[in-house]
Amino acid sequence: MIGGFPRRINRVPCCLPGPALSRPLVVLLNFGGPRQLAEVETFLFEILRDPNTIRLPCPEWLQDRLARRIARRRAPETARQYGEIGGRSPIVEDTERIARAMNEALPPGLPPARIAHRYLPGWTRELARAIVAEGFDDLFAVPLYPHFSYATTGSSLEQLRQELDGAGFRGRLMTLRSYPDDPGYVEALGDRLAETLASAGLKPEGTVILCSAHGLPAKYVAQGDPYRLELYRTLEALRERFPEWRIDLAFQSRVGPMQWLRPYTDEYVPVLAAQGARDLVFLPLSFVNDHIETIYEIGHTYFELARRHGLRPHRVPAVSAHPAHIRALAGAVGRWSAGRGGIPAAELMPPSQDFARRGVWIWSAWAAALLATLLNAWCR
């Protein structure tokens, strides 16, 4: 069991070791983002229809319909925000930058890494077809999500596995689980933070470093998702590196009426101002690329909020292709290549949504039919 969910039993060939694996390949997993304003609505739709991100107790066709309506309604405002940061998401280009840096650090004999973007339609399908056509049979997935969650790493792995199955893949799919306190990742975060502190001339007194991470519904964590615990591992590693500074954690980007992980960044900023903070340093946590949630949500929305409460805001750039971050990723690939690292992707598949999406309706119909039969018999 995973928390309150049954573990998904995966019997597909792509996650079973092949008898004679000979062509290895590294695949980087990332979120993706619209490459032009025309893609914004489709991008939102793909996120909202993912049952690992938005878990609704309804059939797939109904969630798709709801997702389409919400995406259509939200697209104009989201497109406006993208327009203010250049008319596109920088995440695709930055992921390619990370891939190029990684390729230079990969063990000899490995071909250049490929990229799978979870919410860009058709991207992973085309990649899977190319993998099969080119004869790769030993895959190592490297998620560009430092902290594991079934809504991010799990969802990306599930999509990759499904597309590989559809393409006829018969090899092995292994993966890196996460790297929240890997020395290289922490060094990259620390260097970016230290550069920001130095350039702004900040001192520990009166300054709060706010690690703002993407939120997650609190219910998911209660049901076994380890995301928050992994964030704490990074937080503690940073506190060890910066012992004189106050470093807090908050969560951004929540949607819908349900309760998400707290404290919410937009509610926590006024609290920090009331406590006497003067400078507020936003450190995007679990985002390895700068994109709309760091450039606009933090750099525009939260900066304005901070200024309204008398705070001077600052933002730490994402780790991106920082040499230490690349070293952390390449090190994981090296251990896998040497047969000393990686786990089967089947072990990290998201909790099954089958009962919520189909079983609950079948059982409800059965219960209603039984009740009607009993009432009919009792009334006679």
Report whether 123 contacts 31 (CB < 8 A): no
- CATH number, span 13-179+323-357: 3.40.50.1400
If one compares 326 and 4, the residue with the highest pLDDT of the two is 326
pLDDT > 90? residue 304 = yes
Q: For residue range 220-251, list pLDDT tens digits in order.
A: 999 999 999 999 999 999 999 999 999 999 99
As a whole number of angstroms, the distance between CA 281 and CA 263 comes to: 16
For tokens 């190319």, the residue is 130
Tell me the mean pLDDT in the region 34-45: 98
pLDDT > 70? residue 373 = no
Beta bridge partners of 114: 27
Per-residue pLDDT band at 22 (split at 50, 70, 90): confident
Q: For residue range 93-119, list pLDDT tens digits in order.
A: 999 999 999 999 998 889 999 999 999
**Fold for the domain defined by 183-315:** Rossmann fold (3.40.50)
For tokens 């928390």, the residue is 3
pLDDT > 80? residue 44 = yes
Q: What is the pLDDT of residue 4?
A: 41
Residues of the chain within CATH 3.40.50.1400 domain(s) are 13-179+323-357, 183-315
Q: Where are the alpha helices (DSSP H) in the chain?
A: 40-48, 60-84, 91-105, 123-133, 155-167, 183-200, 218-222, 227-241, 265-274, 292, 303-308, 323-337, 354, 360-379
Q: For residue range 139-191, list pLDDT tens digits in order.
A: 999 999 999 999 999 999 999 999 999 999 999 999 999 999 999 999 999 99
Of all residues in the chain, the percent with pLDDT exceeding 70 is: 87
Tell me the mean pLDDT in the region 337-345: 95
Per-residue pLDDT band at 352 (split at 50, 70, 90): confident
